[in-house]
Amino acid sequence: MLTHNWNNHAICQLTEATKIGKYDIPASYVNVTQMCQAHEKQFSDYSRLESTKAFLEGLSADTAIPVSGLVITIKGGNDKQSQGTWAHSEVAIDCAQWVNIEFRIWANRALRQLISSQRVIEVPQQSKLRIPSLEEISTLLDLTLGKAGLEPKLVAGAKLNAIGKRYPHLQEEAEEAKLMLLVPVEDKLLAPTQLGEILTELTCETYSAQRVNKLLIEQDFQVRNPEGNPDYLPTEKGKPYSQLTLGTAKGRDKTVQHLRWFETVLEVMEVCTNC
């Protein structure tokens, strides 16, 4: 247990999961009763606020910890340091903000210091997991994505993503290699938005990208991709008129695919004209 000192008031924080009475209190939880007593306040006044209730619900959803597990009250016992209400460190910091600004600044630094030190300690444990070799990464993706019929350049892009993630010191080289793999979208390859512009001019009706995609599905040129990358896949009917291209998402940390179309697809699509 770590004991913080705030103006000669002891505020306890658990350094490891601890059983107090019948309760199992997780590591880093803080005795918020002591926090409030240091300022002649009561935690119950903070906990009954509507803003506090909303905060606890949001934190519960984010951490997957039930609200009842974010705040635990210990009654009875001979150990005065263990008595009172123990709360998740984020709750304690929010409570400190309710007390006053000076206390919030102190709590934000002091209480997070333990959490940060625990994360540093956990790193060696994670390193015990064997990192797959470059050959293993390549073989795995060949056996999965390659055999699934994905274009070789897309498989190569996936390999570079995996290598950059597992070998951070190769991240820069992997990103440079991904740029060399990018398939430029030539003028003859059109996005649904561009197809829509041509259809709008030909039919005198407005064709948005959404409407074009819907039309391509209805006429059996493409289907939605349940995996989501790319959003659509060509059918056997649509393959002669389309091509998958490779691009990068924002931040250049993810390879994405796009389904693009040759303008000749418009010659076989059934559309009505109002011109």
Q: pLDDT of 225-249, one tens digit each?
A: 988 878 999 999 999 999 887 665 5
- The CATH number given to whatever domain includes residue 27 is 3.10.260
Q: What is the pLDDT, as a whole number, of residue 185? A: 44
Does residue 152 share a domain with residue 80? no
- Do 192 and 175 reside in the same domain of the chain? no
- Which domain-ending residue is among 165, 181, 197? 181
Taking residue 122's Cβ as centre, other Cβ atoms within 10 Å add up to 10
Average pLDDT, rounded, for the chain: 83
Query: Within 10 A of 33 (CB to CB), how many other CB atoms are there?
Result: 20
Of all helices (H) and strands (E), which one includes residue 184?
none
Total tally of structural domains belonging to the chain: 3
Helix axes 101-127, 89-99, angle to 10 degrees: 170
Same domain, 20 and 120: yes
- Domain span holding position 162: 130-181
Give mean pLDDT, residues 214-230.
Answer: 92
If one compares 215 and 161, the residue with the highest pLDDT of the two is 215
> Which string of b and e fits 133-163 if b means at least 16 CB within 10 Å?
eeeebbeebeeebbeeebbebbbbbbbbbbb
Query: Among all chains, which residue has been given the structure tokens 């263990």?
Result: 82
Sequence-ordered list of residues with C-beta below 8 angstroms from that of 244, at least 6 positions apart, any chain: 151, 154, 230, 234, 257, 258, 259, 260
Q: 272 with 248, same domain?
A: yes
- The mean per-residue pLDDT over the stretch 131-152 comes to 82
Same domain, 115 and 190: no
User: In sequence order, which residues have a C-beta less than 8 Å from that of residue 128 and are 6 or more positions away?
Assistant: none
- Please check whether residues 9 and 117 belong to one and the same domain: yes
Do 115 and 149 reside in the same domain of the chain? no
Burial environment of residue 128 by CB neighbours within 10 A (0 to 12, 13 to 18, 19 or more):
exposed
Which of the listed residues 181, 198, 218 is the one where a domain comes to its end? 181
Please check whether residues 232 and 160 belong to one and the same domain: no
162 and 189, same domain (yes or no)? no
Q: Answer whether 173's CB lies under 8 Å from 190's CB.
A: no
For residues 158 and 261, state if they share a domain. Answer: no
Q: Is 228 left (phi over 0), alpha (psi -120 to 50) or beta?
A: left
> Are 147 and 230 in a shared domain?
no
